[in-house]
Each structure stands twice: as C-alpha cells, then as structure tokens.
Amino acid sequence: MLLIPCPYCGERDQDEFGYGGEANVARPRDPASLDDAAWAEFVFMRTNNKGVFAERWVHAAGCRRWFNVLRDTATDRVLASYRIGEPAPAIHDDGLATPAGEPAIGSGNRPVVGDCGR
Amino acid sequence: MLFRPREAGPVDCPSDRDADPPMTTPRYSFWSLFREGLRGHGGWTPAWRDASPKRRYDAVIIGGGGHGCATAYYLAKEHGLTNVAVLEKGWLGGGNAGRNTTIVRSNYLYDASAAIYDHAMQLWKGLGRELNFNVMMSHRGVLNLAHDDGEMRQLKRRIEANRLNGVDAEWLDAKQVKDFCPPINITTDVRYPVLGGTLQRSGGVNRHDAVVWGYARAASALGVDIIQNCEVTGIDVAKGRVRGVDTTRGTIHTSKVASVAAAHTSVVAKMVDLRLPIESHPLQALVSEPVKPVLPCVVMSNAVHAYCSQSDKGELVIGAGIDPQLSYTQRGGFHVIEEEIAALLELFPSFSRMKLMRHWAGTVDVCPDASPIISKTPIEGFYVNGGWGTGGWKATPGSGHVFADLVANDAPNAVAAPYTLERFRTGKLVAEHGAAAVAH
C-alpha cells in the first residue's frame, strides 16, 4: 500500500485517494481538426513506462483536490507530489541497487531519471 | 532507430554453431513412470534443452511464459518454423504464468471473444495428450454468480450469446447453485444475496507450471531454443524493418520479433518507438492453508469482486481485482485484498477461520476494451501479443495458436483479426468489460 503525499494535507494512506492515471494527457485544443489516429493517441495510447511516471491522484476522503505525483513504477517509490499547474520537479536518483550488486542490465534496474517516460 | 547500448557487464558471445547437442525427448507414459519407480527415478532427463543463444534465428519470441512457449510450439509444429528462440528474462513461467489463478472458461459475450477463448478451450481439452505432459486440466465447472436483477438479466443474455456461439452455458437458480456448490451461502439477509448464476461445465482449472513446461518441452523437442536469463534490451530496426534484437546475452539477428511480454509489452514496444493503449497494474492473489475438498468448482462473482477455487493440494486459490495504480513491482495494496476477503466470506461464511498461507501479485497488461492485442505493427517484422489484462491464462493455447499463425503468415487469421492494433483508430473495439467485468 502506498503512502501518498497530498500537497495540501500531507502524507496519507492510499485508501483515502482515487487514482486518475497518467498525468498531462492534454485535451486537444482544436478537436474538430483531429483525424482518427490523433484521437486514438489522445483517448487510448498511454506511456505506461517502467520508471519515473507522472500520475494524477484525488484526495477523495480528504481535501478532495486533484494533484500530481511522480512515482517510480519499477519500485513504487513516491518521488514527489505537486499541485496541478505546477511544473514537475526534476528527479535525479540512482534507483535501487541490484540485489547482489551485479551490473544494472535490463529494464528492472535502470537509473531513475525524471523524463516521465517521454 | 539504433541499438540501445548495453549498459555494463560481460556478455557471452553467441556462436555460429548449428545447434546445441541433440537431446532426445523420451515419451512420458505409465511404463516410463513404472520403470523409473523401480530404478529409483535416476533415469529422468531434463524436459527441455537449456539452450544458449545462436547468432541468427528465423523468429525470436520475447517472453517465456505460457503464451510465448505456446507460440513457439505452434510455430514449430504447424508452420515448420523450428529455427526459433524463446527469450525469457527470468526463468520459464516465472511471470504472470506462475502468478495467476489458472481459471479456464470461454463464456464471453461477444462473437470475437467467444471465438478466441473457445478456440483455447477446445485446445485445452486435448492439451495434456498433445504435449505428452500432464497439465492437470480439470473441467470442474465455473460458476458466475448474479446478485441483483440487472446482473441476472445480463448473465442470462450472456448465456444465450454463448449458446449461439456453441459455448456450453446454463442458468442455475439459487437452489441449484447451492446444490452444485454446497458451501455457498444463499441466505437473503446479506448485502449481496445470491440470486442465481451461470455455469460453464467445461470450465475449470489446470496447473500453471505444467502448461508452460509442457509447451517448452514440446517446442524444444521440435528444435526451438528455450533461452532463460536473457532479457531483450533493444530492438534493431532499419528502414522500418526488424533486423535483430540486443539482449543481455549478446546480439541476435532475426527478421521477425514476436513480443509476448505481458506486463512489459509497453516496455518492449518502446524499443521500437511504438505507443500502445496498454496499462500495467498489479493483480493480487492468495492461497489458504490446505484443507480437505470443500469447493467442487470455480466460483466467480463480479459484484462482490471475488473468485475462488480449490487446488488439488487442497488450498483455496483466491483472486482479487486489480490495484488502481500503474506498477511493475508485482506488489499490491492490503486494502484491495481486505475488501476481497470480506466479499469472499459473505459468500462462504464457513471459510472465516481459514489461515492464508501465501499472497502475491502479478503485473497485468490491461487494454481499454479489456480485450487483447494480437497484431502486426507499423514496424515490419514486429508482432505484438499482449493486453490480455486479468484474463490471459485461459487463452494460452488459443493465443499461441493464432499468434503463431500471424507470425508465420504475416497476416492474421479470422480468429485473430478483430484484435488488431488498428481497432483503436477505427473504433471497432471488442469491449468485453460488461461481460467479464472484474473477475475476468
């Protein structure tokens, strides 16, 4: 279970929050001009990256406000939270060490960098 | 697009040898068991060759789970493509294949779903014999319970749809449910009373390891290389065509790459800059202490969010819904299983004092329409089989069968055709959420 830092109320149990999925999926400014492929991209396609991920949460059983969280989906470590409209803080983190100190190869233990998968 | 550079560490260089030393695959039978019983079981040989990578293959399959090994087997058996490697980053069947609750059924609402899941069901029926490996398939019946009038109407509609598609399905009222599955509580003074349910008698459970090992053994016997501890770290694409893969055990040249990477489908697709509509969530499961036979069938309930069966060892195998957040950690939250157990105990009050022995999570690759992607991609030679979400196990043989067909012929057959990646552009979704809901 995650401990989520609401930027308004502080750290609370995940049970108090609703999940909003990937953050920063911008609504098209001129919907009428979009073709089917662009709509598919907006409606369905998701980053789903393994690493630093920007996501939305709502403090449903608290202040009821939406905000963004940066979390490492490979480790579930919550790295930062910030209010809607604020820029995401830069993240530089070495990631988790491999269990036996072997070199970091493959998708499981890449260094954590704050590009949110994009 | 270029090779993603290997980050560190020595790699063993693939050689140009023709193949590993040939290994005969002896047939398992009553007599071989009897003979080995007399010899103290000293004569068993490994079920498949633990191959190391060659420099070149006709096709490379990413992912050594049930679907990946099944794809390799049908490629070799039905399409004569034996110069094939299955690359597994961990050990065989150690991902979702080893983490699911092994429920098999095919009572889906839509024609496209019924076609692929019932294709799998027909293959399950003869799989142990075909693979010469006991997959412990037990057609003990799957009950889907209804708890309100709306759900009852929906499930009855599904029964009619199933019958039109040749899928066996029948309606049981509350008393018949109780007769078929005695431990169920059908009293009406509960939050979600049992009003009835659908029964698919051909549904049931099987043994997850045995399915993966059986497919791996059969594929290996046909010449497929099963390569473990070999993670794909990059895919080489030139002029829109696949040329090879870069792995933690060296570079492999191939013109066809088939991704069957389940939760990591998006990670693999990113290697060729392909965006997919898949999201990876934790899905938790639990088993109880082993007890004498108490639960004769599989029981699923969408409304209370629980599904349960009893393993041959006697453990109750209990499934939950997905955790809401995206995660690759194979860990879920306690609040999800707390609700799950509360729901289960309302259905089965007699289980309230059982102890839970183990708890784990897999990472499931969920599509927006709760149906899989079995598709060619804009990159020539790169094929995707993923997005099975919470219900991939039951489809294992059918998925491998139609995906092998797609990879071999570079075109989907009639069963696989609805599951193209294009459907998210055209809008022709196979929206099974209503029929299968959470207990998928």
Rounded distance, CA B60 to CA B56, Å? Answer: 9
C-beta atoms of A49 and B248 within 8 A: no
In contact, B50 and B216? CB cutoff 8 Å: no
Residue A110 has pLDDT above 70, yes or no: no
Read off the pLDDT of residues A20-34 as tens digits, 9 standing for 90 and up.
999 999 999 999 999
Rounded distance, CA B434 to CA B109, Å? Answer: 8
C-beta atoms of A48 and B331 within 8 A: no
Q: Which residues of A touch B267 (CB under 8 A)?
A: 49-50, 107
Exposure string over B106-121, b if 16+ CB within 10 A, otherwise e: bbbbbebbbbbbbbbb
Entry field: residues in chain A = 118
Beta bridge partners, B374, equal: B385
Rounded distance, CA B41 to CA B37, Å? Answer: 6
**What is the C-alpha radius of gyration for chain A, rounded to an integer number of angstroms?**
16
Q: Is A75 near chain B, with CB under 8 Å?
A: yes
Identity of the amino acid at B10:
P
| Mutation target vs B (from A1, A48, A69; most B CBs, 10 A cutoff) | A48
**Token duo for residue B222:** 């046909």
Read off the pLDDT of residues A34-83 as tens digits, 9 standing for 90 and up.
999 999 999 999 999 888 899 999 999 999 999 999 998 888 889 999 99
Q: What is residue B434's predicted lDDT score, i.e. its pLDDT?
A: 52
C-beta atoms of A103 and B326 within 8 A: no
- What does pLDDT average to in each consecutive run of 10 residues of chain B (440 residues)? 41 48 79 94 91 96 97 97 96 93 94 96 96 96 94 93 95 97 94 94 96 97 95 94 94 97 94 95 95 96 87 93 91 90 92 94 93 97 96 96 97 97 95 57
Q: Is A61 near chain B, with CB under 8 Å?
A: no
Rounded distance, CA B125 to CA B269, Å? Answer: 33
C-beta atoms of A46 and B7 within 8 A: no
Q: What is residue B9's predicted lDDT score, i.e. its pLDDT?
A: 42
Dihedrals phi, psi of B104, to nearest 5 degrees: -120, 125
C-beta atoms of B233 and A107 within 8 A: yes
Dihedrals phi, psi of B417, to nearest 5 degrees: -55, -40
CA angle at B320 for the pair A71 and B385, rounded to the nearest 5°: 70
**Token duo for residue B104:** 């098999």
